[in-house]
Chains A and B, each alone.
Chain A
Amino acid sequence: MSLARENLKMTARIVYASLIIIIVAVIEAIVLGHRPDFGSCPTNILLGVIQFNSASTFQLAILLLIVTPYVLVWDVTVEYFTRAQWRHFSMALAVLVLLIAGAFLF
């Protein structure tokens, strides 16, 4: 059983969004030059992005890329396991979520 490419819409959107954001950051870096970023806290990243700070824009793109595989897992499981054996794998998914949460805590 295979999934069609259109089932992975969310993943595709995030991948291409991050690539576009990287290009925007490169243009910002060339046009406006290097400025120190505002830090890696999400609020500061967004603050930097709206002020056209390339360092913050790069950070936003990288954060998007880091979460992409988990979005892919979400896309796959939602489309695949709801039709097949969702109950068998919901426990495994819960473990995955706990592991991801663990990465933030430790």
Chain B
Amino acid sequence: MNELILLPIIGALAGLMGVMLGIGGGIIIVPVLTLGFGMTVQQAAATSLITIIANSTIGTMSNIASGFTNIRLGLLISFAGILGSWAGTSVGIQTGQSTLKLLFGVLCIFVGFLMLRKNDEKDPLACTQKHIESPYYATYFDASTGCDAAYAPERVALVVAIALSAGFVSGLLGIGGGIFMVPAMAVVARMPMKAAVATSTFFLGIVAAAGALVYYRSGFVRTDVAALMVLGVFAGSRFASWKLGRVKDRKIQIFFVIFQICMGIYMILREVMK
């Protein structure tokens, strides 16, 4: 009965944090499930991937309707991500608990520092009607400027390579991979931030589904836990999008960074001290 109440609450918190801080829930869900509920990293990763699918699909539906998602680029990087995810899950299934926990601890600290360096999101795109010759050329209506914005992603091959790696980490540790894909598309491909975030969200769901399928077939998905967390994530992310939106307050971001780094250090120390 405790799980029936606790799991949706944790899911809701992960959903809230996801929307408010612009991160996937996996980085919160996996350590909480392994440290708090005694689940193996594989079970926690599988559960996390299921919640990422729900979050990503719901987000993508509204992003596509708004025209922010670059569908062509999204499909291309998803192919790479699927391959990476299968490799990651295959390695993850065969890797020992201690190694995975150590890896996740390092990832938590890395993500924490990455968020510390995160700059304010500024859309570098000027309002333009010019057509750019590229198979990935896309436009969307930018409400802030009041006109259609056009862009063509650059260095697509490099973005595909990053998607392959992001897929691998996603499958291995059960995180979304948005922490890698958003900077890849915004910095490497020089896409507008709105398009980068929306295309990354589209990518995450497809890649998470590929990984989740492999974990499901291997019997690592605790369906009851995953389903209860999905309910919470859904409620939390909807509430955050409706009432809160993205947080600009640096204090909350710093609180999350400290929480993340402490959790990473705790996971590493726990394994090293054994």
Which residues of A are in contact with B by a Cβ distance under 8 Å? 1-5, 8, 11-12, 15, 18-19, 22-23, 25-26, 29-30, 40, 54-55, 58-59, 61-63, 65-70, 72-73, 76-77, 80, 88-89, 92, 95-96, 99-100, 102-104, 106
Contact = CB atoms under 8 A, between A and B. Distances in A.
B13 to A, nearest CB: 18
B60 A95 contact: no
List the 7 closest pairs (A to B, CB-CB), nearest first.
Answer: A2-B67, A69-B205, A58-B223, A5-B65, A69-B209, A22-B227, A69-B206
B75 A73 contact: yes
Contacts of B53: 65-66, 68-69
A58 B228 CA distance: 9
Contacts, number: 130
B234 A65 contact: no
Interface of B: 4, 50, 53-54, 56-58, 60-62, 64-67, 71-72, 75-76, 78-79, 82-83, 86, 135, 138-141, 202, 205-206, 208-210, 212-214, 216-217, 219, 221, 223-224, 226-228, 230-231, 234
17 contacts: A2-B66, A5-B62, A12-B61, A15-B61, A19-B231, A22-B231, A65-B53, A65-B57, A65-B230, A66-B50, A69-B53, A77-B75, A92-B79, A99-B82, A100-B210, A102-B86, A103-B213
Contact of A61 (B4, B78, B79, B227): B227
A3 B231 contact: no
Contacts of B71: 76, 80
